[in-house]
């Protein structure tokens, strides 16, 4: 057994994601201790070879590396504040979803207690853990990341963003923002064609290749945004991008226009400010500056 797969790890929180993380560790041969607030969640993992801890303190004392995968920022403090002294000298990898500000607060809390802190964002669903396509983002202690990266890579491709503990969360939530808005657009389109008796499955068969092809435009938009010139030739203008026809067709179909109306408002703000002939990428200026 190698040094990396003999490392002791404790996992706090055995929801769907925490359970998947712990299972991957057990499968790889790590001595894994698990704890969950509600009883019974550890049974399957114990059957696979994990050790169940009766309390968070017992779990922390079992390992030099502690992984927290809890409900939210408040639950991290609820579980760990009473045992902060036990964590001193250990490494805490927190993959609980938090905001960048919350991640930085936890990093400061950990530093004050002598805890090496690494914040993580998971770009995967539980079934993807340990499989191709799973990606995890980290920021915080470089030493902790370098020491434990082979272990972290068991869950998916690991990317480190530096010692600012909030950066992993920032990237994570930014990428999720893009995903959710895209999904909302797909569901809006599915609702439109449903008015003509088209199933969502039929619509998905056309939407998936179309949207995949359109993501190729990200780099072009990025170049325009970074350059700050929305007048470069070849861009689709904001006036041409007006979504009025989509809104009218949606109303005629008897569905909500909320998802598309949001984008239309971003477009109209720039047109009304005199930028109608400039490129569609200019709507980022509407996003950067909230409307009054």
pLDDT tens for each residue of 32-65: 999 999 989 999 999 999 999 999 999 999 999 9
> Is it the case that residue 1 has pLDDT exceeding 50?
no
Cα(218)–Cα(209) distance, integer angstroms: 16
Q: What pLDDT shows up at residue 292? A: 65
Q: Please determine, for residue 5, whether its predicted confidence score (pLDDT) is greater than 60.
A: no
Give yes or no for residue 165 having a pLDDT over 80. yes
Decide if pLDDT at 3 tops 60: no
Q: What pLDDT digit, counting tens, does each position of 75-104 carry?
A: 999 999 999 999 999 999 999 999 999 999
pLDDT greater than 90 at residue 232: no
pLDDT of res. 6: 63
Q: Where are the domains of the chain?
A: 4-164, 195-288
Q: What is the pLDDT of residues 178-187, one digit of tens each?
A: 999 999 999 9
Task: Give the CATH H-level superfamily of domain 4-164.
Answer: NAD(P)-binding Rossmann-like Domain (3.40.50.720)
The answer to whether residue 253 scores a pLDDT higher than 50 is: yes
Give pLDDT tens digits for 269-280: 999 999 999 999
Instruction: For residue 77, give the nearest of 33, 101, 109 by alpha carbon.
Output: 109
- For the domain covering 195-288, report its CATH number: 1.10.1040.10
Could you tell me the two tokens for 165? 């503990």
* pLDDT tens track for 114-136: 999 999 999 999 999 999 999 99
The 10s digit of each residue's pLDDT in 236-252 is 999 999 999 999 999 99
Length of the chain in terms of residues written: 292
């Amino acid at each position: 057994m190698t040094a990396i797969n003999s490392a002791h790890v404790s996992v706090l929180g055995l929801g769907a994601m925490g359970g998947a993380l712990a299972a991957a560790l057990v499968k790889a041969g790590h001595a894994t201790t698990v704890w969950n607030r509600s009883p019974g969640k550890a049974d399957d993992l114990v059957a696979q070879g994990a050790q169940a801890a009766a309390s968070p303190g017992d779990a922390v004392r079992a390992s030099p590396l502690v992984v927290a995968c809890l409900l939210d920022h408040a639950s991290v403090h609820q579980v760990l504040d009473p045992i902060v002294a036990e964590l001193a000298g250990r490494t805490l990898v927190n993959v609980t979803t938090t905001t960048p500000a919350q991640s930085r607060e936890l990093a400061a809390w950990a530093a004050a207690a002598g805890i090496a802190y690494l914040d993580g964002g998971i770009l995967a669903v539980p079934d993807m853990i340990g499989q191709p396509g799973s990606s995890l983002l980290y920021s915080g202690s470089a030493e902790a990341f370098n020491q434990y990266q082979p272990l972290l890579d068991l869950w998916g491709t690991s990317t480190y963003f530096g010692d600012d503990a909030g950066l992993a969360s920032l990237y994570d939530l930014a990428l999720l923002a893009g995903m959710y808005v895209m999904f909302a657009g797909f569901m809006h389109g599915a609702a439109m064609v449903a008015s003509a008796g088209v199933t969502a499955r039929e619509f998905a068969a056309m939407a998936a290749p179309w949207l995949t092809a359109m993501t190729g435009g990200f780099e072009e938009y990025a170049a325009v945004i970074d350059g700050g010139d929305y007048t470069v030739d070849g861009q689709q203008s904001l006036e041409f991008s007006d979504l009025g026809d989509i809104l009218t067709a949606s109303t005629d179909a008897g569905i909500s226009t909320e998802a598309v109306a949001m984008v239309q408002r971003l477009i109209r703000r720039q047109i009304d400010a005199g930028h109608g002939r400039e490129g569609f990428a200019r709507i980022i200026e509407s996003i950067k500056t909230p409307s009054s």
